[in-house]
Chains A and B, each alone.
Chain A
Amino acid sequence: MEVFNLGLSIRESRFDVKRLASLVKLRLSPEEEKLFSVQLSRILEFFNRLDKAQVDDVEPTFHPLEIYNVFREDIVSPYPSDKLLSLPSRVKERYIWAPRM
């Protein structure tokens, strides 16, 4: 899983909701921002309960059961492109519209 570098200091105590939201491509309304500042700080305090857990020599469990790679034969099985092109709401001449880069 990707680790984001948010440029936040570990000592930083204030929870910068606006900055975090922009990093996950969300724009919060002033009401949401106010609400989340309080709520998310409270939830983080709740997460801090884990500080009491003794886990120094414990390995992390990413998955409940052992996960291993599953391979299949390298045979092309085409998927009908019409089906895929029926999904986006804006398609022009078999191209999917995307916002300007």
Chain B
Amino acid sequence: MKLIQEIESGSLPLDEYLARKAEAIAKLEPILNSFITVVKGFEKSRIERLGLLKGLTVAIKDNICMEGIETTCGSLILRGYKPSYDATVVERIKKNSGVITGKTNMDEFAMGSTTEWSAFGPTRNPWDPCRVPGGSSGGSAAAVASGESDLALGSDTGGSIRCPASFCGVVGLKPTYGLVSRYGLIAYANSLEQIGPIARDVYGCALLLTAIAGYDPRDSTSIDRSYTDYRYALIEGLEGFRLGVVRELLGEGVDQRVSSCIEESIYRFESLGATVEEVSIPSISFALPAYYIIAMAEASSNLARYDGVRYGMSLSARDYDWSRYYEDVRSRGFGLEVKRRIILGAYVLSAGYYDRYYIKALKVRTLIKKGFMEVFKRFDALIGPSMPILPFRIGEKIEDPLELYMCDIDTVPVNLAGLPAISIPCGLVDDLPVGLQIIGSYFCEDTILRIAYNLEAALDLRLKPVFSEVCV
């Protein structure tokens, strides 16, 4: 990353760099709406000793807690909630000299793939403001693509990092489940979600992942592993790498123009020395219903905590009966998509339906996990599109929830299995970016970063959206 060298060498003084970022935000926010909250005076941050992140700006998705800064999850029900502590990832970014610019827009409680379900208005795609940036981490991806921030954190429950990374033409990585602490991440579906980095290039992604990854005793699902500096994974050449193209990820419903970009990348991989073969994981055909059943079940349970008493929204009448009060707060505080998922989640967990839906979905999850493990005996990584379609117009699909769920077909299998995956830009179609997805085996982030790094260099796309302050 050229920026880091400039900051380190002193050719770009940190205060000048941060002032530029504040200007970019002031200029672009009226169009893009990437942020729910911008941290006041971030441009005046003073850093004593430049750590790993060298003062680079980092935007944080608004479902990650930051002490004293309003954290809403894109929902009215958490409006006014200022956490009393930093999430582990926020703590690590601060410790590594990252400058936090603000809290980014998202679909309410991360439920969505367009960022249109935010209570604070939709984020717009920097490539075409009439189009969605993807979601649910749409604010983070738009902020990075436009140069409002150089790095960002998203969270990925069923594709919420990879989808907006693909739609905004940036790099986004969903880590192996357990690699990054979820302490301070406001829960939607615990067994599926991970926090991960978004950056304009693979180096930035590796850098931010290095800063946030690692064991945290405050998250009981955090894995105790030795420290890795992912920048050292960025090695030139892919000789001997075995890549599998997953047939089910390129099946029905994938836009032909997206498939063509993926095919072009396959040629590049071969010319870089990798062998590429088609592979099939039949159980993936059941991934979407299984994912939505599990995610809604966990959401229904997690979102039971919002009562309008302990934090966030409250109502003023004093003589409320408790049951009516909770109903009123929750009915006013939650948006349509959240209500849909809470109701369906309760349904699939109810006696009589628990085995038919919830347990069955968990059994399908076992098949999908086994399917992946079987093919990873023969391949170093798997590839396919991140999203089956190009970024669509704001309002185009919002009326039909099922149609929107179908867009997650290529991303959800990874979350069900807990695997790492990265989305990187692999081409433009009609001036809209297309993302390629590289899926690795457990804790093989170094492998997928290396593959992405080599493709990035080979394609040399130098992307610059219409609305951006990015120097290419």
Contacts and interface: CB of A to CB of B under 8 A. Distances in A.
Interface of A: 1-6, 8-10, 15, 17, 20-28, 32, 35-36, 39-40, 42-44, 46-50, 52-53, 55, 58-65, 67, 69-70, 72, 83-84, 86-90, 96-101
B471 interface: no
Contacts, number: 189
B366 A59 contact: yes
Given A50-B286, A87-B311, A99-B321, A20 B346 contact: yes
26 contacts: A6-B347, A17-B343, A20-B346, A20-B347, A21-B343, A24-B304, A26-B330, A36-B343, A40-B340, A43-B401, A47-B289, A50-B293, A53-B360, A53-B367, A60-B365, A64-B192, A64-B416, A84-B84, A88-B314, A96-B310, A98-B322, A99-B321, A99-B324, A99-B325, A99-B326, A100-B322
Contacts of B347: 6, 15, 20, 40, 44
A54 to B, nearest CB: 8
Contacts of B301: 1-2
Contacts of A86: 82, 84
B351 interface: yes
Given A6-B351, A50-B286, A90-B314, A40 B369 contact: no
Nearest to B190: A63
B327 A55 contact: no
Contact of A26 (B85, B331, B350, B365): B331
B128 interface: no
Interface of B: 80-82, 84-85, 177-178, 191-192, 217, 220-221, 223, 283, 286, 288-290, 292-293, 297-298, 300-301, 304, 309-311, 314, 319-328, 330-331, 334, 336, 339-340, 342-344, 346-354, 356-357, 359-367, 369, 401-402, 405, 416-419, 442
Nearest to B400: A39
A59 B292 CA distance: 19
A43 to B, nearest CB: 6
A3 B354 contact: yes
Contacts of A44: 344, 347
Contact of B80 (A40, A65, A89): A89
B309 A96 contact: yes
B352 A8 contact: yes
Given A6-B350, A53-B367, A72 B417 contact: no
Contact of B364 (A23, A50, A72, A96): A50
A47 B292 contact: yes
A2 B220 CA distance: 20
A55 B343 contact: no
